[in-house]
Structure formats: C-alpha cells, structure tokens
Chain A
C-alpha cells in the first residue's frame, strides 16, 4: 500500500514537472504573441473580443485537459 502511494506520488511529481515545462513554453510563446493583438481587439472591437475570449478559454480547457490526460496515461503506463 505504502509502496503504491510512493509510486503514485512520484508519477504525479513527474507529471507536474512536465506540465510546468509545457506551461512555461506556452506563457512565452502563445501569450506573448497574443497579448498585443488581444489588447487592440479589446479596445477597438469589443464584440469580437468577447467571442474570441470565450473561444480561447474553452479551447485552452479542451487542449490542456487532453494534454494532462495524455501525460497521465503515458507516465502511468511507463511506471506500471
């Protein structure tokens, strides 16, 4: 039981580390590129900005959920 818990924690720590690297890349690439464009959109086309904002958060939710699920499966499979 204890061995299993240690194993689970180790897999979770690796998952978090891999996820952190991915998220850091995401900050620098996507947010940096989108920042100015979204700022101008928010100032000039509020209605389009509202739609884009919702699409972005929904899209990110779907993608990140898929990424974490994939990471989870890959690492669990490797450490089993």
Chain B
C-alpha cells in the first residue's frame, strides 16, 4: 500500500501487527511504545521525521482506547492526569529547546545518547531491585501472617515516597482517587516536567520515565499510574501531533492503519493488568527501558538511526 504523504510503500498487515504489539504494551504498562514504533517504521523506509510525528498521532488514538478501558476499571485519576499534562507539555518544550542548544554546540547526538543510556539502564536497574525486594517482602509476610492482599500495592521504596508526600510546599492538594490525602502541587508538576523534559530531549512519550516516577515519587498505585499515564499521554501526544503535523512530520494514513491493530492490543493489555499485582507489573516493565538503551547503543555504534 502506497502512502503518498510520506512517499512510503508499506504492507498494511505489517502496520496492523506493529500497532497490535504496541497496543498490548500501552494497555499493560501505560507507555506510548515509541521505542518499537519508531524503529519499526524506519525499517520500512519511513523518514525519521515522519516516523516520530506519525508515531505520536498513533499514540493519541491508542491511548484514548486504553485510557477509556482503564477508566472503566477505575484506574484513572483525572485530576492528577490534567495537572501532569500541563507539566509534561512545559517540560517537552524545554527539552526541545535543550536539543536546539546542543545542536548549536554541535554535540547533540553524543550527549543525548549517553544521557539516554544512563537514564534507561538506571530506571531498569532500580525497578528490578525494588520490585524483587517488594515481592520477597510480600512472600515472607504472607508466610507469617497469611493475610496479605496480593492486589494491594506496596513498594520497597515506600518510606522515601512518604517523605516526599510530607513536603509541605503550598498549595497542597488531595488526590482521593489515588488514595493520597495531601501532596504538594509542585511535586506533581515537577515529576511531569521532568518526564516532559526527557520526552522533548530523548524523543518519544517518555512513559518509561513517567510511569515509574508516578509510582515511586508520588506514591500512586501501579494500576492507577498506568491508567493515569495513558490519560495524560492523550493530552500531551495530541499537542505533539499538532505541532509535528504543522512542521510536516505526520503521515496520518499510516497512523490510522497502525491504530486499527492497536485498538485490539490495547484492550488485551488493559484486561491483563487485572491479573497482576503492582510489583509484578513493575518487574515486567524492566525490559522496556533496556530495549530503549539497546536501540541507542546500536545507533551509537553503527551510526544508523533506528
């Protein structure tokens, strides 16, 4: 099938399958899946700028479906999502400006690549340590008392999270859906801003930074973090789609075809979250940032941007 906007000739079945796989990841982990979509489109000869913009458009559609399903399961905190969307958009703009500054300095690729490798592997290592420690604690406690609810979200990083929640920086807000009585608005905005900064700096939606940040820094239960992240992605990716489309980086026909597969995948991913406790979802999340790091290392070593 020929796509006239990006001048690419791609088998639509390939796009549907790629969309399906990304949909499962999106529904289960609350990520956009740009680490798969970008390289998958590049493999078919789509130019890099079109791969980035088209992926964002596809993320909007997929996240709408997944967020709607998560909302039906009570996994979306609308108030938190709206606040985070503002911080993410601000951070993404700053990240893009940072890229421009590095471009002028002439060392953008090296800096971005090394930062990405450190951040991705750091997140993966931390989540591996935390989720395994939490699961071990679960097991030993349930052996002793036998009354631990596996669906109740706990984290080995909990004491640090509670200290962050106790920071009294005005204005303090309540997030009843997420079970948080009071947290500083600035903490939420800062977490979203950092996520947005990485999104603008490293590309993609940076879900593999935002979702763990919501769990470990804000103390949001994992299922809610996944659903709320998807809701937040709908807003920030819509903004990204508009700006990229104006710059001529979006082939909406490719995005529409990919999205047909993502609809089914996202629904499967959402349903699957109901069968896993928070620490297990976090443990399963570990390979995602590592895939991102592997792609960057490949690009750095071969010079081919996937």
A contact residues vs B (CB 8 Å cutoff): 16, 19, 23, 26-27, 31, 34-36, 38-39, 42, 46-47, 49-54, 56-58, 60-62, 64-65, 68
Contacts and interface: CB of A to CB of B under 8 A. Distances in A.
Interface of B: 1, 3-5, 12, 16, 57-58, 60-62, 64-65, 68, 238, 241-242, 245-246, 248, 250, 252-253, 255-257, 259-260, 263-264, 267
Contacts of B60: 54, 57-58, 61
A34 B253 CA distance: 9
B4 A39 contact: yes
B263 to A, nearest CB: 4
Contacts of B3: 35
Nearest to A22: B260
Contact of B260 (A42, A47, A54, A64): A64
B241 A50 contact: yes
Interface of B is mostly: helix
A19 B263 CA distance: 11
Scoring A16, A36, A61 by chain B CB atoms within 10 A of each residue's CB, the highest score goes to: A61
B241 A31 contact: no
Nearest to A57: B61
A69 B255 CA distance: 21
Contacts of B65: 61, 64-65
A38 to B, nearest CB: 6
Given A39-B5, A61-B263, 20 more contacts: A27-B1, A31-B256, A35-B3, A50-B241, A50-B245, A51-B242, A53-B57, A53-B241, A54-B242, A57-B57, A57-B60, A57-B255, A57-B256, A58-B60, A58-B61, A58-B238, A61-B64, A64-B259, A65-B68, A68-B263
Scoring B248, B252, B260 by chain A CB atoms within 10 A of each residue's CB, the highest score goes to: B252
A51 B183 CA distance: 36
A19 B241 CA distance: 27
A65 B62 CA distance: 10
A64 B19 CA distance: 14
A56 B256 contact: yes
Contact of B259 (A38, A39, A57, A68): A57
Contacts of A54: 57, 60, 238, 241-242, 245
Contacts of B248: 42, 46
Nearest to B2: A35
17 contacts: A16-B264, A35-B253, A38-B252, A39-B4, A46-B245, A46-B246, A53-B57, A54-B57, A54-B60, A57-B256, A58-B238, A61-B60, A61-B61, A61-B259, A61-B263, A62-B64, A68-B264
Nearest to A30: B256
A17 B238 CA distance: 31
Nearest to A23: B260
